Amino acid sequence: MKIGLDDVVAAETALSHVDGEAGRLIIRGRDLEELAGQVSFEEAVATLWEGLVPDISEDPRCLLGRARVRAFAHLAPLAPHLSGLTPVEGMRLLLAALPDAEEDHASLAVGAAAVAAAMAVRGSRSLPAVAPDASAGHAADLLRMLRDAPVEDGEARGLDTYLVTVIDHGLNASTFAARVVSSTEAGLLSAVVAGLCALKGPLHGGAPGPVLDMLDRIGRPENAEAWLDAAIARGERLMGFGHRIYRVRDPRADVLKGAVARLKGADNRIAFAEAVERTALEVLERRKPGRRLDTNVEFYTALLLDSLSVPREGFTPLFAAGRSAGWAAHTIEQARTGRIIRPQSRYVGPRPAEAA
């Protein structure tokens, strides 16, 4: 038995495949690089949901636009309850409030994830919610709802690339959580809430904020070696490095690095991050020989979202906004198996005393 279920195959999926040895992510038969930065989030959702959500192929932009508006009608009254919560806690509250009785759960979940991410970030700062614009692109509208200010095309493209990059990723912890909930027939919206709850931990989708904290503490390239070495010596993990499946560089890191490089004025930040990354890989190689630790998606996520002026507590909600499409797809795929996920445990506790 492996406590972390390493190498255990727990589902069959036609959605995405993580090839850890080759450093490839395949989504519906296409390499990530063919989608991220090449097609809009709405088009990527249509690709992912083909054969699972009937209406998606007609006009995905329109479908998700309408879903954001529908979600906002449900969620706006909850805005006063968000102050005092972190954005990810606020997002959890909002998504949990969606009624199961609504129709077209998949697009509602994705529309709601964007609305809830923006509302929760703003609500945590006691700022009012901004209504969606159904005619806008999903990424542009999400960024506008977050900022309550116009968004440049280049910025919208940067967030679009990010949302597509994180749309799905095999049987990661949050997707597995969503599939377990789906297998009990609890419903798609409940499965998406479960996905968010699993995502928020620092070992999964909660890492990019801490990546930025780490870069801030390092401050200058010449401090990197001593700072990173001391962190490892204290037994800490370097955020943005290591992965259960990838034994080489996470392909999403390069896609996101390219997206940051395309943003105006990001050159100095990229140069600093690259210097820290290089040093971190050397320190990990020296301190953890043979572990094959490399850069994961969270490292350049931090840089990209920070460059888009997303506050760091908002990084995980934006991750969830992208991944909600994957959770929804896996939820439907799992439900079609008609079988509850119910593994066994090995009992290692005491036994009742035998009767004399």
- Amino acid letter for position 245: I
The token pair at 273 is: 């991050």
Site for ligand ACO in 1-30 (CB under 6 A): 4
244 binds ligand ACO (CB under 6 A): yes
Give the distance, in angstroms, between the CA of residue 279 and the centroid of all CA atoms in the same chain.
Answer: 26
When asked if residue 242 is in the footprint of ligand ACO (CB under 6 A), the reply is: yes
Choice between 203 and 340, CB closer to ligand ACO: 203
Distances (CA, A) of 37 to 85, 261, 263, 266: 33, 12, 13, 17
Residue 323 found at the interface with ligand ACO (CB under 6 A): no
**Residue 138 CB partners (closer than 8 Å, separation 6+):** 40, 41, 42, 61, 64, 65, 68, 110, 114, 160, 163
User: In this complex, which beta carbon is closest to ligand ACO, that of residue 61 or of residue 243?
Assistant: 243
Q: Could you say whether residue 289 binds ligand ACO (CB under 6 A)?
A: no
Interaction between residue 243 and ligand ACO (CB under 6 A): yes
Instruction: Report the relative pairing of strands 30-31 and 16-19 from DSSP bridges.
Output: unpaired
Assess 204 for contact with ligand ACO (CB under 6 A): yes
- CA–CA separation, 278 and 34 (whole Å): 27
CA gap 33, 56 in Å, rounded: 22
Q: Least distance in Å: CB of 201 to ligand ACO?
A: 9
Angle at 120 between CA 114 and CA 126, to 5 degrees: 140
Closest contact distance (angstroms) between CB of 211 and ligand ACO is 7
- Could you write out the three-class secondary structure of 280-342? HHHHHHHHCCCCCCCECHHHHHHHHHHHCCCCHHHHHHHHHHHHHHHHHHHHHHHHHHCCCCC
Q: Indicate the residue whose CB is closest to ligand ACO.
A: 242
Q: How far is the CB of 80 from ligand ACO (least distance, A)?
A: 32
- Find the binder of ligand ACO among 241, 300, 315, 327 (CB under 6 A): 241
> Does residue 243 carry a catalytic annotation?
yes
Task: Work out how close the CB of 297 gets to ligand ACO at its nearest, in angstroms, rounded to a whole number.
Answer: 5
Site string for ligand ACO, 220-239 (x = CB under 6 A): ------------x----xxx
Q: Enumerate the β-bridge partners of residue 26.
A: 17, 31
Size of the site for ligand ACO (CB under 6 A): 20
Judged by beta carbon, residue 195 or residue 205, the one nearer ligand ACO is 205
Question: Hunting for tokens 């709850």 — which residue is that?
Answer: 197
Instruction: Determine whether 81 is an active site residue.
Output: no
**Annotated catalytic sites, by residue?**
243, 298
Contacts to ligand ACO by CB under 6 A:
4, 203-205, 207, 232, 237-244, 288, 291, 293, 296-298
